[in-house]
Amino acid sequence: YWTDFLFQAMFAATCATIVSGAVAERIKLTSFMVFSTIFVALVYTIAGSWKWGGGWLDAMGFYDFAGSTLVHSVGGWGALVGAAVLGPRLGKYAKDGRMTPIPGSNMPSAVIGVMLLWLGWFGFNGGSVLSADPELTSLVLVTTSLAAAAGGIGAMIAYSFVSSKPDLSMALNGILAGLVGITAGADVMTPLSAVVIGLVAGGIVVGSVIAIDKIKIDDPVGAVSVHLVCGIWGTLAVGIFSTNPDHSFVTQLIGVGAYGAFTLVCASALFLGIKATMGLRVSPEEELDGLDHGEHGMHAYDVAPVGAGLPGAAPGSAAAGHSFARTAIAAEGR
């Protein structure tokens, strides 16, 4: 039925949106559209055929119920390459190694977004049963929700070793980490295993976000940590916690390695090819002014920016309120 096409198309679109978060605030819209079109049309479909198309990994017994690797890790590898090739946002890292936090503009919206994702994951995982089996579908919904909740708790516990105060963005990423982690085996896990997988995913995402920042890969939304790192964890967890004795950790590891190698090569070729031909990154002036204005010809919020009217600020431009960014750029020596 055409509903199957629509369902699978959403999986493909999800893979591309994962990359968008890691390259946010500095990539050209047209360049990203070219990348995402080729990435989904060729890279994702070829990779997907290895398992979901009855390919060689399926024959080996590799298992990925709803896409911890096929969707999330594939998108995560693309996100990692994109962030590395583009480089960090202006003002993110100073020459002396200091990192300048660039906070999100609307945390309440982020909370709403994560809650919507949590709700949508019931369709993502529950729909992957591909049949009207009430027992299996209900198990998938329970393991999905337990892993999400445990992921948020795990992230808060892990972050308590870093700071005395909880961090909302880490907790939200922890919820997403739990969802990504359970996706590979939501139908073959017990509720207790789902909790363990979520807790570990929440802890992993905190460590990964900090580690990636230390090596100066600028990932604005933590896409690499949530989707790549926790996607790998969730896929390997099938070989540890699955109730099906035929699932092997070694086979899962082979699958993770194969998808990683293939996607790294393809994503690198795509990003470097686009960079050499049509260019990837917007100009420094456009980046400071904001891509809403430069790439889309509008502003997200119809309000006067903080600092509007300062010397050198274009009327109504977001750059008027970016004195902190200009100071950080001066520290970089740019």
Phi, psi of 325, rounded to the nearest 5 degrees: -70, -40
* pLDDT value for 67: 97
Output the CA angle 224-210-201, nearest 5 degrees. Answer: 60
CATH code for the domain in which residue 65 is found = 1.10.3430.10
Same domain as 105, residue 11: yes
Same domain as 266, residue 152: yes
Inter-residue contact 127 to 7 (CB < 8 Å): yes
Number of domains in the chain: 2
Q: Which residue from 203, 119, 110 is spatially nearest to 154, judged by alpha carbons?
A: 203
Same domain as 81, residue 201: yes
Instruction: Report the alpha-carbon distance of residue 153 to residue 147 in Å, rounded.
Output: 10
Q: Give the pTM.
A: 0.89
* pLDDT value for 303: 62
Instruction: Report the alpha-carbon distance of residue 285 to residue 291 in Å, rounded.
Output: 10
Count CB atoms within 10 A of the CB of residue 30. Answer: 12
* pLDDT value for 319: 42
Same domain as 52, residue 82: yes
Q: Cα 201 to chain center, whole Å?
A: 14
Same domain as 104, residue 19: yes
Tokens of 93: 């890292």
Same domain as 163, residue 288: no
**Four-CA torsion 83, 88, 89, 94, nearest 10 degrees:** 170
Among the three residues 240, 257, 277, which one is the final residue of a domain in this structure?
A: 277
Same domain as 288, residue 265: no
Inter-residue contact 155 to 203 (CB < 8 Å): yes
Q: Which residue from 331, 301, 300, 315 is spatially nearest to 90, judged by alpha carbons?
A: 331
Q: Which domain holds residue 327?
A: 284-332
Among the three residues 277, 306, 324, which one is the final residue of a domain in this structure?
A: 277
- Supply the DSSP symbol for 93: B
Same domain as 309, residue 187: no
Same domain as 81, residue 106: yes
Same domain as 162, residue 59: yes
pLDDT per residue of the chain (334 residues) written in tens, 0 to 9: 899 999 999 999 999 999 999 999 999 999 999 999 999 999 999 999 999 999 999 999 999 999 999 999 999 999 999 999 999 999 999 888 788 888 888 899 999 999 999 999 999 999 999 998 999 999 999 999 999 999 999 999 999 999 999 999 999 999 999 999 999 999 999 999 999 999 999 999 999 999 999 999 999 999 999 999 999 999 999 999 999 999 999 999 999 999 999 999 999 999 999 999 999 999 999 999 889 888 888 887 776 555 555 455 444 444 434 444 444 444 444 4
Output the CA angle 25-42-71, nearest 5 degrees. Answer: 65
SS3 99: strand
